[in-house]
Structure 1
Amino acid sequence: MSNPFAEVPVLPVVIPFGIVVFAVLLAVLWARRVFSPARAAVAAAVAVYAAGIVGNTIFPIFLDKPDSGVPWTPGLALIPFADYELDDALMNMLVFVPLGILIPLMLARPTWLKVIGAAAVTSLTVESLQLAAQAYFAGGHIADINDFLSNVAGGALGYGLLLLLARVPVLARLIDRFRWYPRGNAEERDRETVASRA
């Protein structure tokens, strides 16, 4: 089948991207000498998640978009909650719930500020790439402030869910197996820091 506008295929881009992300995260685990199957599973989940986000939010892109002769106008939606459907809001929240779960598993001392900040930076990056794709590759997505707000809310929801699950002792022990920084080690480092300042 012909491809008159040179549409970039998704899989040949996102699969290598996911593999690179996975390899980098595994290298981090090996370098820190904390590799385990459970932590490698977190790395795999992050890689698949990142590839999925790129594939579903940046594409389609075209290398040979037709010239309409009309000056480019950015597709921006900067008014919160204007013409924003509830199903869109829920979808964008759900998309970032996994991020709110995965990020704290990779942090030594996760906090609400760190997790929400990571969700905000990730969402802002996605919206910026969507805007760039519009400008240069006839991308089909609109950069929307409502998507950003829903994404951040989804990240917070994911972290809240993780904290809630961690209150159950059996689940807390299971979750600890997936943490990249064992909680005991972090607490010990905190005590050593306090002792050194005394």
Structure 2
Amino acid sequence: MSTNPFGAVPVLPVAIPVGVLLFVLLIVLLARGKKLTWPRAVTAAVVAVYAAGIFANTIFPIYLSPVDSGEPWTPKLALVPFYDYEVDDALMNIAVFVPLGVLIPLLMRRASWAKVVLTAVSVSLGIELAQLAAQAFFAGGHIADVNDLMWNTVGGVVGYAVYLLALRIPGLSSLVRLFRWADDSSARDASDSRLAVRATS
């Protein structure tokens, strides 16, 4: 008797190559832009591991041989905010997206609240659509839920707030900037220019 009658796709053989390929791509992008440093490589590694973890935990389980119920497929959608949604689920979704709120400004040249929110919404929406597709083709085990979208976005906002707070802490701000992909030299030059103008006026 088969130990895997529903054809469940194993997670690690899929998620690990996804993470590795993403890491290689990010390193290539850094190298081409002549921005490759050890701290930035660490940021790339964190992004790759985070993305692979999100992929593994939000899309899987998926099945290649789902049971045919004989009824036409209808997507399982939860479109009513706050209905039949536990506090624990909300807190978990916030926690999962806090790292994203920290990583976004590390990768962007000029991050802002609007950009972070838009990115968090886009990533979360992509996850929910992927879950919907997994239901359609692989009998995926997750339900696309508008509540997940909302609380994921909150998590991204919280993460960005943590990032901004870290920039206000002496010593820690310098450390954080080492891991940023954008070069701060242009911003420093602009600041020095403004100071010079004020000094001569």
**CA distance in structure 1 between the partners assigned to 2:104 and 2:188 by the alignment:** 19
**How many residues were matched structurally?**
192
**CA distance in structure 1 between the partners assigned to 2:187 and 2:57 by the alignment:** 36
**CA distance in structure 1 between the partners assigned to 2:183 and 2:174 by the alignment:** 11
TM-score by length of 1: 0.93
Task: Report the alpha carbon displacement of residue 74 of structure 1 after superposing the two structures with TM.
Answer: 0.9
Cα pair 1:8 1:63 within 8 Å, conserved: yes
Q: 1:79 to 1:187 in 2, by over 3 A?
A: farther
**CA distance in structure 2 between the partners assigned to 1:21 and 1:45 by the alignment:** 11
User: Is 1:160–2:161 an aligned residue pair?
Assistant: yes
**CA distance in structure 2 between the partners assigned to 1:75 and 1:187 by the alignment:** 51
Cα pair 1:109 1:186 within 8 Å, conserved: no
- Match of 2:124? 123
Task: Report the alpha carbon displacement of residue 169 of structure 1 after superposing the two structures with TM.
Answer: 1.8
- Match of 1:109? 110
Question: Which SS does the other structure have where 2:171 is aligned?
Answer: helix
Gap regions ≥5 residues in structure 2: 194-201
Q: Which amino acid aligns with 1:142?
A: I
Task: Report the alpha carbon displacement of residue 187 of structure 1 after superposing the two structures with TM.
Answer: 5.2
- Match of 1:71? 72
TM-score by length of 2: 0.92
Give 1:113-192 correspondences, 5 Å limit: 113-186=114-187, 188=189
Find the structure with the greater CA-based Rg.
Answer: 2
**Aligned Cα root-mean-square deviation (Å):** 1.6
- Match of 1:196? none
Q: Which amino acid aligns with 1:74?
A: P
Tell me which stretches of 4 or more aligned residues in structure 1 moved more than 4 Å: 186-192
Q: Which amino acid aligns with 1:12?
A: P
User: Is 1:62–2:63 an aligned residue pair?
Assistant: yes
Deviates more, 1:141-150 or 1:61-70: 61-70
Q: 1:142 to 1:190 in 2, by over 3 A?
A: farther
**CA distance in structure 2 between the partners assigned to 1:190 and 1:74 by the alignment:** 53
Question: Which SS does the other structure have where 1:82 is aligned?
Answer: coil
Deviates more, 1:33-42 or 1:183-192: 183-192
